[in-house]
Every structure is written in C-alpha cells, then in structure tokens.
C-alpha cells in the first residue's frame, strides 16, 4: 500500500477545474501539488487558490517532475489520447475528463499505455458518484423495485436561468467544433454523463442499440447547440431508456453551476424510483406538495411511498466522491470506476448515438461501432 500523500498535477484550469480540485483539497491522502495551463496567469490564480507549490505552462516539462504521482487531465477531448499516453509512460496515474476521446482506437491506445506502465487509469465521470444516484442504484441492487425496465432521464436547460456560474461564451468554442466534440456540446460532451447513468441503472444488462434525434436552439441567436434532443437506448424488447433534453429562454432554473437541472425516473418490475435534482438546485424549496425536495423517492410493490432526502444533494459532492474513490483505488490497489474497459463501453454507446444522428436518425447497434464516426 502507498503510504505517502499523493501529489497531484491538474492540467487545464478552466471553469470545471474548481470542482475537480475539491476532492484533492479535502482528502488527507492527497494534495494539489502542481498546476499546468498554457496561460500562466490563469494557472497562477488556481495555484494560489489551491495551495499548489509548482506552476507549469508546458505539459512535457510537468511530466518530468518526479514528485507528481497522479495527473488530472481537464483539456478538450481531442487532446486526451496523447496526454494520457505521455502521463502513463512517465509513470503517473491518470484521471481524464469525460468523454475520454473521440474514437475507440484512441481509447484502446490509452488503455494499453496504462496497462503497460502499471498505472491506474480512470475516466472522471462524476455523475455515478452523485449521492442520490448512488442511493437509487443501491435500491435497485437490493431488488426494491425489481429488475429495471425503463429509465427516463429528463434534462432542462435555460438560456437565462435564475442563477448559475458565469461561463464566458468563448468556452463553448471548442465544444462546437467537429475535431474536438463532433459539434455536439450537449449530446456528446455532457451526454457521456447521461449515457453512463442509464448504462449503470440497467446493469448488468447491456444497451444494445441507440436511436437519436436533435433539433437546434441558438443561444442569444448566436451559438447553435444540439437541443432539443431525444436519445433512445434499447436494451431488449421490454427494457429501454430515454434521455430528453430541452432548453427554454427563461426557465426558472436555480443552480450553483451550469444553468440546467435533471430529473430521473427508474421503473422496475414492481416499483418506481424518482430522483430529483443534480447539476442544478431547481427542486430546493419544493415543499408545496409538488415533485419534492432534492433526493430519492420510491413507491414499492405494496403501493407504499418512501423517501430519502437527507443526503448531500449538491452536485459538488459527486466530484468529491469520485476523487476520493480514485485515491482509495491507488492506495489500496483496486479497480476504479470508470476504468478503461467500462469507460470504453460508454464511449461506444456515445459513438452509436452520433452515428444515428448522422444516418437519418436510424437505430444503430452499439456493437457495429468499431472505431469512430466516418
């Protein structure tokens, strides 16, 4: 077992990095030792905030630092393969932001590099560590609602929410490019979270095919994004999932982060689970007899209602939990969630979705995706 404090290098200090740093700042077994960003001033601001000892603007130089044990990569997706492989070859454990990359071949190359160099490799998909989702999954594993038959994931977004982070429009630039994100800022970038959660709730059953449709909404009449959209995940003739995403100009969404929120319904053979809130906090204060406070609600086979809404429901805890899990895996030499193999399955689902969008919305078997989108 590793006894020393794990020294972390955070690469990329954009908006989301503040949340990725939280787990390292609160874990006694780790510290943010170094920060790397092409822009020195931005890197220094984060380094000062996180107490990092070293600042780099050159990733290659950073990897030469023998003090670094773990690299947290928060850069655009098209850069991931090269950066992950170089970190693995430098003997560093790696956590890479979702989606891990844009093709299965690139994913396989990262997996091989981690295996060859004997380091831990994890795709940072924090939604799986959101306490309400974890609690719901535990109910499913215990058989409370029987086998999951349908998973409906509803996502609302607002151009002008009641509250949210300040996110410069320029941050959307790479997300709407083909080479970085298939021009799908919602469905491919953020969508990896949704594919992952729906995949998790159906486990151990596999998503066999995907069918997708999208419209187009222009934020401030400037940036066209891939919403509204509907994705159908087909598991069998009796099991399926949906992800329904839409945007309104002035939806009353309250959030400490992005201007969106989610609602999930999992229908089983003998009960239904309802999960309120995730990225946003639109359900905070819902005590009027409506959909309820953030948390988990379920009706069992006897028709009795139950709820658990005393857990931590702020989105930041999903980041903290995900990071704590990876640190534990490094120290205790266990397999992380999502490891390369499992993360590859989610990527294959995401690529099937992209192919459906580009093939007149037809149903695409997941196993027909062999690499990327041609």
Q: Tens-digit pLDDT profile for the chain (374 aa)? A: 446 899 999 999 998 999 999 999 999 999 999 999 999 999 999 999 999 999 999 999 999 999 999 999 999 999 999 999 999 999 999 999 999 999 999 999 999 999 999 999 999 999 999 999 999 999 999 999 999 999 999 999 999 999 999 877 677 788 888 988 999 999 999 999 999 999 999 999 999 999 999 998 988 777 888 999 999 999 999 999 999 999 999 999 999 999 999 999 999 999 999 999 999 999 998 888 788 899 999 999 999 999 999 999 999 999 999 999 999 999 999 999 999 999 999 999 999 999 999 999 999 999 999 998 86
Please determine whether the domains at 6-126+318-336 and 128-313 fall in the same fold group of CATH: no
CATH architecture of 128-313: 2-Layer Sandwich (3.30)
Q: What is the pTM of this model?
A: 0.95
Range list of H helices, 11-130: 17-26, 40-50, 59-63, 80-89, 104-117
Query: How many CB atoms sit inside 10 A of residue 227's CB?
Result: 23
Q: What is the DSSP pairing of strand 295-299 with strand 272-276? A: antiparallel
Which CATH number does 6-126+318-336 carry?
3.40.50.720
* Domain positions in the chain: 6-126+318-336, 128-313
241: CB partners within 8 A, 6+ apart:
150, 151, 152, 153, 198, 201, 202, 207, 232, 233, 235
């Amino acid at each position: 077992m590793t006894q020393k404090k794990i020294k972390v290098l955070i690469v990329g200090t954009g908006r989301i990095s503040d949340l990725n740093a939280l787990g390292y700042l609160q874990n006694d077994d780790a510290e943010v030792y170094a920060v790397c960003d092409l822009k020195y001033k931005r890197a220094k601001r984060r380094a000062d905030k996180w107490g990092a000892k070293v600042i780099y603007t050159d990733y290659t130089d950073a990897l030469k630092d023998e003090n670094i044990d773990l690299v947290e990569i928060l850069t655009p997706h098209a850069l991931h393969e090269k950066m992950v492989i170089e970190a693995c070859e430098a003997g560093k454990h790696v956590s890479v932001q979702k989606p891990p990359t844009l093709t299965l071949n690139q994913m396989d190359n990262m997996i091989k590099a981690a295996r060859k160099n004997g380091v831990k490799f994890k795709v940072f998909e924090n939604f799986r560590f959101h306490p309400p989702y974890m609690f719901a999954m535990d109910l499913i594993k215990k058989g409370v609602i029987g086998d999951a038959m349908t998973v409906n994931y509803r996502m609302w977004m607002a151009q002008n929410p009641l509250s949210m982070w300040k996110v410069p429009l320029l941050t959307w630039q790479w997300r709407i490019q083909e080479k970085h994100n298939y021009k799908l800022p919602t469905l491919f970038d953020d969508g990896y979270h949704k594919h992952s959660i729906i995949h998790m709730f159906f486990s151990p059953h596999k998503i066999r095919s995907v069918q997708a449709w999208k419209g187009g909404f222009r934020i401030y009449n400037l940036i066209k994004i891939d919403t509204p959209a509907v994705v159908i995940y087909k598991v069998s003739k009796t099991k399926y999932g949906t992800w329904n995403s839409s945007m309104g100009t002035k939806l009353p969404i309250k959030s400490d982060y992005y201007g969106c929120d989610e609602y999930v319904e999992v229908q089983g053979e003998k009960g239904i689970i309802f999960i309120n809130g995730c990225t946003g906090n639109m359900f905070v204060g819902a005590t009027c007899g409506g959909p309820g406070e953030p948390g988990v609600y379920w009706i069992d086979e006897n028709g009795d209602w139950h709820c658990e809404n005393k857990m931590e429901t702020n989105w930041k805890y999903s980041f903290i939990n995900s990071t704590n899990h990876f640190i534990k895996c490094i120290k205790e030499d266990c397999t992380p969630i999502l490891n390369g193999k499992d993360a590859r399955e989610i990527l294959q689902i995401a690529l099937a979705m992209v192919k459906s969008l580009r093939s007149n919305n037809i149903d695409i078997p997941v196993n027909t995706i062999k690499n990327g989108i041609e």
